[in-house]
Chain A
């Protein structure tokens, strides 16, 4: 292992984070290299020095403050829910009314179109066809023939 690589691993070596093989390689190198040994000593002293930075305590009111914050949060959430609930009281009936009206209009259209399809057209066709039948044999040129037929019918009776 080269010095540079060893130096980069010295922190992890101190922290006990190296695998057995890597650890052995570093230990081998350290036996031969005074420079790396010195760096290891410095890193080790640094860790000890850093550890001396004292931790801070917490105030006696920590829990009380936390519960206060939790209840504030609940209130906020509660008031939001309340607004939503009030809106619901108005929006729900209005919504239902709109749906009902729209439903009635739609059904009306739907029933007219599907249950009595083209009623008016049928009627027209019916009248048209009956009218056509009654004048089927009559053409403007042969009106006299009609009279003749009628007369001849009457005579034969």
Chain B
């Protein structure tokens, strides 16, 4: 059914939606919900929270469709909403838990609960799952320790594979600044994860 949108660009879908075509909006959700949830998840560290905030992102898209102008790439606009909401969520948390300013934003359930859940699943060999979960947990922790700007730059580059130019538009900074954020992030992450990936390779 959704095949009809196969060759329709994001911007065109947005313009169709502006004209009242709800199925175009649904197609955009289908295309980007996973990216939006994962950008927020990797930044804040909690899956449920990420999904909840992703709903807010699409609600904002819905609400601002009348004002939408096809000036930039749709994803730049969409991810900018996601990034700004994530940043303000982080600020809110810091306000409420000022003591934990320097601690990572990982919640125990993120690593430990999932670990137990998956080990309890009988299908794949438990050691393998444990390895994978351990790795996920280590990467998640290392990324959560990065300052917000570096963290977001890494997420958009490594996981969303965006160009420096697009990242600079999303983060409202220069391309040079993106390059420097990513360099510092890589240096920080290398220190934290080197022992781990040296064993792996």
User: In the complex, are the beta carbons of B55 and A62 less than 8 A apart?
Assistant: yes
Please encode chain B, from 161 to 201, with 1 for each CB lying within 8 Å of some chain A CB and 0 for all others: 00110000000000000011011001001100110111011
Which of these, A50, A51, A55, contacts B38 with CB under 8 Å?
A: A55
Cα separation A46 to B198 with both chains bound (whole Å)? 9
Q: Is A49's CB within 8 Å of the partner chain B?
A: yes
Considering only CB atoms, which chain B residue lies closest to A50 in the complex? B158
User: In the complex, are the beta carbons of A51 and B29 less than 8 A apart?
Assistant: no
New contact pairs (13) apart from A15-B164, A49-B196, CB-CB < 8 Å: A8-B183, A12-B183, A15-B157, A17-B163, A46-B189, A46-B194, A50-B143, A50-B154, A53-B136, A53-B140, A53-B159, A58-B51, A66-B29
User: In the complex, are the beta carbons of B190 and A73 less than 8 A apart?
Assistant: no
- Interchain Cβ contacts under 8 Å between A and B, 13 examples: A46-B193, A46-B197, A49-B197, A50-B139, A50-B143, A52-B135, A52-B139, A54-B136, A55-B41, A58-B54, A63-B26, A69-B55, A70-B59
- Size bracket, chain B contacts: 35 or more
Among A48, A53, A73: residue with most chain B CB under 10 A: A53
Q: Is B34's CB within 8 Å of the partner chain A?
A: yes
User: In the complex, are the beta carbons of B139 and A49 less than 8 A apart?
Assistant: yes
Q: Is B95's CB within 8 Å of the partner chain A?
A: no
User: In the complex, are the beta carbons of B37 and A53 less than 8 A apart?
Assistant: no
Cα separation A47 to B154 with both chains bound (whole Å)? 10
Chain A residues bordering chain B, tally (CB within 8 A): 30
Cβ–Cβ < 8 Å partners of B201 in chain A: 45
Cβ–Cβ < 8 Å partners of A45 in chain B: 197-198, 200-201
Q: Is B33's CB within 8 Å of the partner chain A?
A: yes
